[in-house]
């Protein structure tokens, strides 16, 4: 076990990942960017078709939207988004989806 902070870079199986703090689903939600493969693992922060789950007492919809817009949509457009549930998507596809949300 290890705690990660925003911006931490670490190795897993020879791959270099960067932690991106993305609160909203939960206060400590973190995504992991595998830049060398053009991939980001988003867990419950970003799904194919929009924001992840925010139905819990500790979740916050405006916060998850801000996290996605400010922390994830800044990644290259062709970055593959590997979600916690459902199919993969891309940053470009989710940029279009997020433009329609308040």
pTM summary value? 0.93
Residue 3 in domain: no
Number of domains in the chain: 1
What separation in angstroms does the CA of 31 have from each of 13, 81, 100, 102? 18, 10, 23, 22
For residue 6, the model assigns a pLDDT of: 97
For residue 102, the model assigns a pLDDT of: 59
**Can you give the residue range of the structural domain that contains 30?**
9-97
Digit-by-digit pLDDT tens for the chain (102 residues) are 788 999 999 999 999 999 999 999 999 999 999 999 999 999 999 999 999 989 999 999 999 999 999 999 999 999 999 999 999 999 999 999 888 875
Residue 102 in domain: no
Residue 56 in domain: yes
For residue 1, the model assigns a pLDDT of: 74
Residue 69 in domain: yes
> Which domain CATH number covers 32?
3.60.15.10
């Amino acid at each position: 076990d290890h705690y990660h902070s925003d911006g931490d870079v670490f190795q897993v199986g020879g791959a270099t990942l960067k932690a991106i703090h993305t609160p909203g689903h939960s206060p400590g939600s973190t995504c992991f960017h595998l830049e060398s493969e053009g991939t980001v693992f988003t867990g419950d922060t970003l799904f194919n078709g929009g924001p992840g789950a925010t139905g819990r007492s500790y979740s916050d919809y405006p916060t998850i939207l801000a996290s996605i817009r400010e922390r994830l949509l800044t990644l290259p457009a062709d970055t593959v988004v590997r979600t916690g549930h459902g199919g993969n998507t891309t940053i470009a596809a989710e940029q279009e989806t997020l433009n329609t949300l308040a």
